[in-house]
Amino acid sequence: MHMQWKRTFALIFSGQIFSILTSAMVQFSVIWHLTEATGSASVLMIAGLAGFLPQAVLGPFIGVWLDRWNRKLTMMIADTVIAVSSLVLGLFYLWGEPSLWVVYAVLLIRSAASAFHAPSFQAAIPLIAPEEQLTRVAGWHQLVFSASGILGPALGIAVYSATSLGTVLLLDVLGALIANVMLLMVRIDQPKPEVVETPSFGKEFVLGWKTFLSAKPIVIITIAMAVFSVAFMPLSMLFPLMTLSHFGRGGYSASLIEAVFGAGMILGGGLLSVLASKWRDSTYMSISLFVIGVTCVLCGLIGSSAFAAFVGLSFFMGAAAPLFNGPYMAMIQKSYDPEKLGRVLSFVTSIGLLSSPIGLALAGPVVDRFGVQIWFFWAGIIVVLIGVFLFLKFNKSGQEQQSLGQ
């Protein structure tokens, strides 16, 4: 039994590595292709919305559905849908240039399928691994995602430059096929279904809302996080456009920026685990927002010959991100009773996810009219102000300590 779960995970993860990596390759290659082909921020923002909205809308409800469905089958169907959509778009590109609505439709379908794949995989893990090994498995999972986030853009652009976008998309079909074959080779027992009342989404929402409002510091930080999402989220789509339009560089340079940002995030996560508990949670979050804001402002000011500076700023921006996310989650976990935590987390996640499309919708027309650096600069100013506000708010009032009983 002890070795059995390890063998099961070795098979599952070896398949998932191919699937996650090829998906990361496709995601970056499609965005780069649209950047290169259109040079339009509005096109990129619509692509971002297509790839994001299904997950934002479906996110709050998926957990309830997954508890009723077979998790292994859900993963396999989701991977198959992603593969078929990649195959369709790949064939379009091999025959010629498809219209933008075809690309948007495929991104929409891939996003909806991904919204089911990731949580069903997470929900399947406790059915396989012993409880005392869950943290170790979470570490493996994080490693796969981090490595894919760094390697995916670089490999995607290499294949894209050497062949075509159609080839990258067909590789994604192969990745999903390998993942499904590996899943077929393992057994995942379903949890015994509980006889419970069908939950009412309306009642759950109201209860989650009331619980959420009971901790005022979390409400303040969540509003700040929502404003941050509106300003910062579009940058994930604008990095390739910045590389192309401002610095006049190609796909390899754009993939380098993605890799450097990812490497910064890994370092930031490690730094947080070492420094944790030295300061209060809100202080880490203020530092994170201040560093992200300043790096954005500097990106908005640097000249077109300073690509090396852009690489360095992207690294520090990535390194600062975990210093917000980690302490924010820790504050939420300390502020609410465990039995109500799930509802609050679902509610908070929805606020973050639904704020981001607002930023994407606003950024397109602004960047098309005034240039990509304008959004970097003003997003940076807004993020710095949020960081300063949180620092002054929690250091003056000591609200965080009072609410958390510290």
Write the pLDDT tens digit of every residue in 229-247. 889 888 877 888 888 888 8
Check residue 309 and give its pLDDT: 94
Mean pLDDT across 79-88: 88
pLDDT by residue (tens digit) across 209-232?
777 788 888 888 889 889 998 898
Q: Is the pLDDT of residue 173 over 60?
A: yes
The residue type of 275 is L
In the block, which residue shows the tokens 């057994």?
187
Whole-angstrom distance, CA of residue 194 vs CA of residue 34: 47
Confidence of residue 327 (pLDDT cuts 50, 70, 90): confident
Check residue 140 and give its pLDDT: 66
Residue in 215, 233, 220, 266 with CA at minimum distance from that of residue 383: 233
Check residue 354 and give its pLDDT: 78
Whole-angstrom distance, CA of residue 293 vs CA of residue 231: 10
- Tell me the H-state helices in 276-306: 281-301
User: Helix, strand, coil shares of the chain as percentages rounded to 5?
Assistant: 85, 0, 15
199 class by beta-carbon count within 10 Å (0-12 exposed, 13-18 middle, 19+ buried): exposed
C-alpha dihedral sign at 135, 137, 143, 145: negative
pLDDT by residue (tens digit) across 15-49?
878 888 888 888 888 888 888 888 788 888 888 88
Mean pLDDT across 155-176: 85
pLDDT by residue (tens digit) across 376-392?
999 999 999 999 998 88
Whole-angstrom distance, CA of residue 307 vs CA of residue 311: 6
Q: Is the pLDDT of residue 121 over 60?
A: yes
Whole-angstrom distance, CA of residue 295 vs CA of residue 316: 7
Mean pLDDT across 356-380: 87
Q: What is the pTM of this model?
A: 0.71
pLDDT by residue (tens digit) across 291-310?
999 999 999 999 889 899 99
Check residue 61 and give its pLDDT: 67
Mean pLDDT across 46-72: 72
With pLDDT > 70 as the criterion, what percentage of the chain qualifies? 77
Check residue 129 and give its pLDDT: 65
